[in-house]
Amino acid sequence: MSVLFEKTPYLTEKPFHYCPGCNHGIIHRLVAECLEESGMGEKIAGVAPVGCSVFAYDYFNCDMLEAAHGRAPAVATGVKRAKPDTLVFTYQGDGDLASIGTAEIVHAAHRGEKIVTIFVNNAIYGMTGGQMAPTTLVGQRTTTSPYGRDEAWCGAPIKMSEMLAQVPGAYYIERCAVDTNANIIKTKKAIKKAFEYEKAGHGFCMIEVLSTCPTNWGLSPVEAMKWLEENMIPYYPLGVYKDKGAEGK
Amino acid sequence: MFYGAAATGERVITSSSSPGVSLKQEGISYMAGARLPAVILNVMRGGPGLGSIQASQGDYFQATKGGGNGDYHLLTYAPASIQEAIDIMMFAYDKAEKYRVPCLILADGIMCQMMEPVEMPEMRDFKVDPEAKPWAVTGWKPGDAPEKRAVINSLFITTEELSEHNNVLQNTYREMEKNEKMWECYKTEDAEFIITAFGTVARIAKSAADQLRAEGIKVGVFRPITVWPFPYEALKEVAENCKAILDVEANEGQMKEDVLLAVAGTRQVEYFGHCGSQMPTTDEISKKIHEMKEGR
């Protein structure tokens, strides 16, 4: 009997703790499949963030490190520089990467660090109870913006992909989503390309993936996908923001 | 970066001066929690905040009583000469790796800018042996022995797991207390007064002791080389025959708390020092001992 589909061995057997409808499950699987397809075997190390995916070290079946909040790109830098032949990636949410960890991510990009960052943006702090994040949309209600985010008071949401694409050291930056089958396939292609670039000695690469938080958005999983399409994608347009490889650099 | 590089099992070092080391405390706590061996250098300057850029010993509490969050200690050496700093460095990594703790070298601005002749020990080739460090990030793929997968982590989400983890850490600290205390006694055998001091200040204290002995007052110096673990028992024993203790520091007397713990109320303990980045002088120390002798 031929095998049509099986779970990648780069995910452990541990069941995910994520809420029903959360996109972390899909994104974890895409990353793990790309790790397997990279052919790097044992030469892989991942860095988990603080936030909903803090237990990513229990799910990705490779050497893993748990970083302090926001510091994953710095930790990944230490691993990569000590072991340059290892494929090193960070997996971070927006509360981690776009808030407390902005210095680390900007300077990892600035140094052209040869790492891949998977940035999962759901426009809210999920784990801590749905507080407003730097990425929260204007007007979006959260536990700390109960009347909706007020731009005059809290600023407009930060666009990390656009921002990092301006940093000379960044090599490849793309924003994706996993709301449709077509977008899931595109996201996997992007992650795979980022790992290929890292293998070829290029960096820095970041794939931003827009994601839902049905629990803290107060929506059903299906409604949350719709909300993402109608609200997040218009503000955070999908696409390639920088690809030095495609420019032949 | 330091955390990530230490996780690979390589020998890594970071150095800074007080405010920079304050900034590193988050990472140091995580490294203590994740049991990552490494060597950290703090060349102390005046504080708090930006303080001054002159030498100080104001980070004693930070180094020995905490620093970052949680129940942890660093194996902390306070060398008093360049030679001693070099000698300590030769075994600091071995100790850090033996106990899987970050090791701190606590120096001050004077030591950092001082020049003195040293004898360099024979250089050794330090090679990382992944097999000797099964915890390190050295490469693992699905299908390899599960226990060899590295998970460098300080998060233990259940109270039971955290308790078990902290017990392992505490047992390590008890072992270090048993095995790693280092100190120096200078002319303490017949001393009427003992000066307690660490690092550069201990050298000044030795000169003061010699000056006072020339004047006929028997003074000795007790210098902890490890400030954590602090050599309480050794100081208690040395202090048994003395009349009183003078604690001299380039801070507001932070180590005096440990001196008081060591003698547990059995001896008079006075303090002399400055906390504006001025070093105590031999004349000042001498004057203070004279005052103590005269019962003032």
Average pLDDT score over residue span A86-111:
98
> Domain B2-179 falls in which CATH fold?
Rossmann fold (3.40.50)
- pLDDT score of B132: 83
Per-residue pLDDT reduced to its tens digit, B90-99: 999 999 999 9
Q: Residue count of chain B, please give it.
A: 296
Between chains, do A42 and B150 touch, taking CB under 8 Å as contact?
Answer: no
> What is the pTM for the complete model shown?
0.95
Residues from chain B that touch A83, judged by Cβ atoms under 8 A, are 8, 137
- pLDDT score of B256: 98
- pLDDT score of B126: 74
Per-residue pLDDT reduced to its tens digit, B119-162: 999 988 877 776 789 999 999 999 999 999 999 999 999 999 99
- Other CB atoms within a 10 A radius of the CB of residue B61 amount to 14
Between chains, do B4 and A76 touch, taking CB under 8 Å as contact?
Answer: yes
Q: How many domains does chain A have?
A: 1
Which residues, in sequence order, are CB contacts of A216 under 8 Å at separation 6+?
A: A124, A125, A126, A129, A130, A142, A143
Which CATH number covers residue A30?
3.40.50.970
Instruction: Identify whether A15 is part of a domain.
Output: no
DSSP annotation string for A1-53: --------TTB-SSPP-PPTT-THHHHHHHHHHHHHHTT-TT-EEEEE-SSGG
* Both tokens assigned to B160: 């039971």
Average pLDDT score over residue span B209-232:
98
ipTM above 0.85, yes or no: yes
- Mutation for B interface: A53, A80, A83, most B CBs within 10 A: A83
Per-residue pLDDT reduced to its tens digit, B234-275: 999 999 999 999 999 999 999 999 999 999 999 999 999 999
Q: Is A115 on the interface with B (CB under 8 A)?
A: no
Give the three-class secondary structure for B183: strand
Average pLDDT score over residue span B162-174:
98
- pLDDT score of B61: 98
> Domain spans of chain B?
2-179, 184-293
Residues from chain A that touch B153, judged by Cβ atoms under 8 A, are 57, 64-66
Instruction: Identify whether A144 is part of a domain.
Output: yes
Instruction: Identify whether A16 is part of a domain.
Output: no
CATH architecture of B184-293: 3-Layer(aba) Sandwich (3.40)
Positive/negative CA dihedral, A230, A236, A237, A239: negative
- A203, pLDDT greater than 80: yes
Instruction: Identify whether A193 is part of a domain.
Output: yes
Between chains, do B137 and A63 touch, taking CB under 8 Å as contact?
Answer: yes
Residue A41 lies in domain:
24-243
